[in-house]
Amino acid sequence: MLLFVALLLLVLFMPLVLTHFTGAIWSPTSLRIAKRMLELSGLKPGEKLYDLGSGGGRIAIMSAKLGARAVGVEINPSLHLLAKLAGRGIPNLELRWGNLYKVDLSDADVVAIYLSPSGNRKLIPNLKKTQARCQDRLLPVAPSLSFEEERGADISLRFRC
Ligand SMILES: C[S@@+](CC[C@H](N)C(=O)[O-])C[C@H]1O[C@@H](n2cnc3c(N)ncnc32)[C@H](O)[C@@H]1O
């Protein structure tokens, strides 16, 4: 029994710890901030949004409900399952269990990002390949890239990669 509980805890919490090294640990964006991020991104119905590291799926789900074609990519299997549950039955929503650094962003209109600074840095080569508008929750993804910057409230910034 003790072994079972230990294994269960390992399965549930190890991915949380590991994602600290892969991009960012889970910290869900509040509904208010998610709404504001999407406003700032200028997301329109029919556009394609990728949420890279989608956690419980909030941004992807909200985008799909706004009529966008939303893709959430999450590496933590527990969070991926939670997102699948939360997003069941919503059209135009694709939730992938996978590594955000391996995603082809060539058809993206908007990329939502909320990662650690080192996670952001690793993403720069992929972002350079896309024309998408990048909506970063926290930090400039790459101050060295040329981009338009718009400040909104004090919660997020909008970038063109
Ligand atoms: C700060 S949370 C943001 C969650 C969500 N985007 C939101 O705003 O509510 C970062 C997420 O990225 C995920 N993550 C970290 N590294 C990843 C990787 N290499 N591939 C996919 N997801 C990753 C984490 O598991 C975590 O859920």
Listed by start position, the domains of the chain span 2-160
Atom of ligand 1 nearest to the CA of 119: 16
Cβ of residue 35 lying under 6 Å from some atom of ligand 1: no
Residue/partner pairs of 11-16 with CB below 8 Å, 24 or more apart: 11/78, 12/78, 15/75, 15/76, 15/77, 15/78, 15/79, 16/76
pLDDT recorded at residue 17: 62
For residue 23, the CA-to-ligand 1 centroid distance in Å is 7
The residue whose CB lies within 8 Å of the most ligand 1 atoms, and thus the one to mutate among 12, 61, 76, is: 76
pTM: 0.83
Say if residue 7's pLDDT is above 80: no
Q: Provide the CA 8 distance to its chain's centre, in angstroms.
A: 26
- Amino acid of residue 159: F
What number does CATH give the domain 2-160? Answer: 3.40.50.150
Of 79, 142, 134, 73, the C-alpha closest to 108 is 134
**Digit-coded pLDDT (tens) for 15-50:** 666 666 667 788 888 888 888 888 878 899 999 999
